[in-house]
Chain A
Amino acid sequence: MYNKAVLMSDRSQTTRQRAWRWVAYALTWWIVLLGLWLLFVDSLARPEVLVGLAAAAIATLAALGIRARGGVRYHFRWRWLLLLRGVPADVLRDSWLLAALLWRRLVRGERPAAAFRTVPFPIGGDDPTSAARRAFVVTATSVAPNTYVVRVDRAQGTALIHQLAPDPPDQTRSPLVGMP
């Protein structure tokens, strides 16, 4: 009987703590987004603050919805930023490549030989660092206009990419940013 009472008390305390964490999460985002809104509008006039309160509340509700669906936690590593050093050059190269493709399409009527490719992509686990690494690689790879990541296959440990101008077949470098 005593043990049952202790168990129930522990459970209600956990529920209370969880509820407080949700409230703290919602309030934090609401305040942060309201601050951001005031930066956007550059005014402290009452109507702007009221509209800002409503807009921040809508965005916070969306955040709560994502969190309720088990939103992912990310843990980024600063050293990954070094992997972005090649991205500006990739953007320039791809822009030139696509401009040439567009020109050939418009002038000569040639259809681009666009292709899907499945490339190895070590997925990692469900831990925050692996989730952040996946997000980083997918985002960074999709910045250059020729290549975008369509999906990541967790079971196979691969990424499906689409390229308007496919890389030559003898290219050994992975099209994914940060992959050898």
Chain B
Amino acid sequence: MNVWLIAALFGLYVVTHGQLTPGGGFQGGVVLATAPLLIYLAGEYGTLRALSPTAGVDLLGALGAGGFVAIGVVGLIAGGIYLQNVVPLGPVGTVYSAGTIPLINLAVGLEVGSGFLLMLSEFLAQTLRIRARRKQ
């Protein structure tokens, strides 16, 4: 059962619609991070670790942080203010109505999602390490 896919899709929905409905990059990122956690619940810690290698998750986080900076710098160059909107605004209520905000949300979602995933993964690893130390 690919329940985790539904969680991932909902996370993407929350990220991309932060300008229209409650949510945004941070909240959507947390939902995105819970999708691999569902895989852990359906399997075991080793599976989660194999599916979320630290280097890959770090790369996603870096892409998110770098994307945020890049969007800001583009605004600075084009408009003279960091994060200045440079994308034309669409009609109110549409998914592209908020200029660069959905792009910023996407960058934040990537960063937060990968950060939370790394944190959950490390938290479980730490739990196992403490357990191993107590057994010695």
Contact A139 B127 (CB under 8 A): no
Expressed in whole angstroms, the Cα–Cα distance for A134 and B17 within the complex equals: 36
Q: Are A162 and B9 in contact (CB under 8 A)?
A: no
A91 proximal to B (CB < 8 A): no
Q: Which of B37-45, B61-69, B72-80 contacts A (4 or more CB under 8 A)?
A: B37-45
Give residues of chain B (16-51) contacting chain A, Cβ–Cβ below 8 Å. Answer: 16-17, 35, 39, 41-46, 50-51
- In chain A, positions 30-77 with a C-beta closer than 8 Å to chain B are 33, 36-37, 40-41, 45, 47-48, 51, 55-56, 58-59, 62-63, 66, 69, 72, 74, 76
Q: Is A142 an interface residue (CB 8 A)?
A: yes
A150 within 8 A of B: yes
Contacts known (A45-B94, A55-B12, A76-B1); A150 close to B6, Cβ less than 8 A: no
**Contact A58 B12, beta carbon cutoff 8 Å:** yes
**CB < 8 Å: which of A56, A66, A152 contacts B9?**
A56
List which A5-48 residues lie within 8 A (CB) of chain B: 29, 33, 36-37, 40-41, 45, 47-48
A135 to B134, CA, bound (A): 27
Decide if A37 touches B13 in the complex (CB within 8 Å). yes
- Do B124 and A138 touch (CB < 8 A)? no
> How many of A's residues come within 8 Å of B, CB to CB?
32
When the two chains form their complex, are residues A37 and B41 in contact, meaning their CB atoms are under 8 A apart? no
Q: Is B116 interfacial (CB-CB < 8 Å)? A: no
Count class of interface residues, chain B: 20 to 34
What separation, in Å, do the CA atoms of A58 and B127 have in the docked complex? 32
Q: Which A residues are CB-close (under 8 A) to B1?
A: 74, 76
User: Known: A37-B13, A59-B8. Is A51-B95 also a contact (CB below 8 A)?
Assistant: yes
Known A-B contacts A59-B5, A69-B50; A135 and B13 likewise in contact (beta carbons under 8 Å): no
Question: In the complex, A102 Cα to B6 Cα: how many Å?
Answer: 34
Contact of A59 with B41 in the complex, beta carbons under 8 Å: no
- Smallest CB–CB gap between A63 and chain B, Å? 6
The residue in chain B whose Cβ has the minimal distance to the Cβ of A40 is B13
* A135 in contact with B95 (CB, 8 Å): no
Task: Give chain A residues whose Cβ lies under 8 Å from the Cβ of B35.
Answer: 62
A-B contacts besides A41-B13, A69-B51, 9 pairs, CB < 8 Å:
A36-B9, A45-B94, A48-B94, A59-B12, A74-B42, A116-B131, A135-B42, A138-B43, A151-B128
A-contacting residues of B (Cβ < 8 Å)? Answer: 1-2, 5-6, 8-10, 12-13, 16-17, 35, 39, 41-46, 50-51, 90, 94-96, 124, 127-128, 131, 134
Pairs across A and B, CB under 8 Å, 9 listed: A36-B9, A37-B9, A37-B13, A40-B10, A58-B8, A62-B35, A69-B51, A135-B42, A150-B131
